[in-house]
Chains A and B, each alone.
Chain A
Amino acid sequence: MTEADFTFLRLLLQQRSGLSLTADKQYLAESRLGILCRRRGIADITTLIARLRSAREPALENAVVDAMTTNETLFFRDRTPFDLFRDVILPERLAANAATRSLRIWCAAVSSGQEAYSLAMLIDEAAARLQGWKIDIVGTDISSEILEKARSGSYSQFEIQRGLPIQMLLKHFEQRGDKWQVSERLRRMVEFRRHNLLERNDHLGRFDVIFCRNVLIYFDVPTKVKALELLAPRLAPDGALLLGAAETVLGLATSFACDPEHRGLYRLPGPALRARPAASPPDGLARKERLAGWSA
């Protein structure tokens, strides 16, 4: 790939997805776009870039964005955010939303769906405390191709062995040939929609919890700020935002503030941060579910 072609690609990705591709990612671009060319019967990357330069082909541009933005994810990736969700956020929302009995969760940049299904499994473990509640898990991603995989809930043997406890596999998956598919019950709990984090998002509604993990790291600073500013109005005033382990809002935006008690958890600034509903300590049942679900 020539330097001029790589520069063109970086600009295209920056404009279309906010992805900031650093110079050391040229090998990645070549490998991923090489696969795309073979799939689409395009002679080589030079031809691909020439086509993108000469005419506006939104479908092809989308395919390039898809190829460059999809990343491997794991079930219960990094674990801590899921512990926080189960032990801190969920009890907090049970108290805060007792009147409406509704809970809305947004997995922003959900990729192939593991994060959304991991949350669905945790919610299923807490089913006894959530009877009569309306639960929405919305997973969005910029890539339509990866969302198709997410919707199918179908994973390889390798994928289901990374992060997923075997008891959860037995409980929530069905074996189909050499694939493992998430049960229909869990698939019904999650809705997948295509969305670019840098575009307007009011149609998605308001969420109690937003997971936006391991996507800001690919953005440059102004894009990070913009993404966070777009997330803020989508979060309930006393809701919770979770970012990836290597990500923070510090020095980026005034839209969010760090939760003083829990690392990796962010809140809207202002009175909400000081006057959150007190989370009741986990009861015996919660402890039992935790033992059954996690450390079996």
Chain B
Amino acid sequence: MKYCLVVDDSAVIRKVARRILEGLQFRIAEAEDGARAIDACKGEMPDAVLLDWNMPIMDGYEFLRTLRQMPGGKRPKVVFCTTENDIAHIARAMHAGADEYIMKPFDKEIVASKFHQVGLL
């Protein structure tokens, strides 16, 4: 079973994402900001990260840059999932090593389609 870390400061979004991803046969852990997500990755490197952008303490962009520097940190597929929906943000995320990008609001079809594209499904 593949392991996905869901990183978002909204408990509601984390719950929705968890339900969708569990339906796609993922094991889930949650983190409410980038710093806690880095701690989680130090414990166990996930196969996938579903990543919000705007969060307190450490945002999604900083998390991604830190993750990619960590040992084994290039392996997880990182899919942004954010309300930031302009080309500049998307290009910046992809440049920093994101694998896919979801613009909120999202549904199961979009998540499945994006995870399929990066080879997680």
Select one of A162, A163, A169, A295 contacting B90, CB under 8 A: A169
Select one of A158, A165, A175, A294 contacting B100, CB under 8 A: A165
User: How far, in angstroms, from A170 to B101 measured CA to CA in the complex?
Assistant: 11
Say yes or no: is B110 at the interface (Cβ < 8 Å to chain A): yes
Interface residues of B in 90-121 (CB under 8 A from A): 90-91, 94, 99-103, 106, 109-110, 113-114, 117-119
Size bin of chain A's contact surface: 10 to 19
Measured between C-beta atoms, what is the minimum distance from A191 to chain B in Å? 28
Say yes or no: is B87 at the interface (Cβ < 8 Å to chain A): yes
Select one of A162, A165, A169, A295 contacting B110, CB under 8 A: A162
Measured between C-beta atoms, what is the minimum distance from B81 to chain A in Å? 11
Say yes or no: is A167 at the interface (Cβ < 8 Å to chain B): yes
User: How far, in angstroms, from A157 to B90 measured CA to CA in the complex?
Assistant: 13
CB-defined contacts of B86 to chain A, threshold 8 Å: 175
The answer to whether B113 touches A163 (Cβ under 8 A) is yes
Say yes or no: is B85 at the interface (Cβ < 8 Å to chain A): yes
Interface residues of B in 46-98 (CB under 8 A from A): 85-87, 90-91, 94
Q: A161-B102, A161-B103, A295-B119 are in contact. Are A166 and B113 (CB under 8 A)?
A: no
CB-defined contacts of A157 to chain B, threshold 8 Å: 85, 103
The answer to whether A295 touches B118 (Cβ under 8 A) is yes
Q: How many residues of B contact A (CB 8 A)?
A: 19
Q: A161-B103, A161-B110 are in contact. Are A170 and B118 (CB under 8 A)?
A: no
Interface residues of A in 261-296 (CB under 8 A from B): 294-296
User: How far, in angstroms, from A106 to B94 measured CA to CA in the complex?
Assistant: 34
Measured between C-beta atoms, what is the minimum distance from A24 to chain B in Å? 24
The answer to whether B101 touches A166 (Cβ under 8 A) is yes
Select one of B100, B109, B119 contacting A166, CB under 8 A: B100
- A45-68 vs B: 1/0 string, CB under 8 Å? 000000000000000000000000
Q: A170-B87, A170-B91, A170-B94 are in contact. Are A165 and B117 (CB under 8 A)?
A: yes
Measured between C-beta atoms, what is the minimum distance from B70 to chain A in Å? 22
Q: A166-B100, A175-B87 are in contact. Are A161 and B94 (CB under 8 A)?
A: no
CB-defined contacts of A175 to chain B, threshold 8 Å: 86-87
User: How far, in angstroms, from A163 to B103 measured CA to CA in the complex?
Assistant: 14
CB-defined contacts of B113 to chain A, threshold 8 Å: 161-163
Select one of A158, A163, A166, A295 contacting B94, CB under 8 A: A166
Measured between C-beta atoms, what is the minimum distance from B35 to chain A in Å? 26
- Nearest A-chain residue to B103, judged by Cβ: A157
By a beta-carbon cutoff of 8 Å, the part of chain B in contact with chain A is: 85-87, 90-91, 94, 99-103, 106, 109-110, 113-114, 117-119
Q: Which 3 A-B pairs have the closest CB atoms?
A: A166-B101, A161-B110, A165-B117
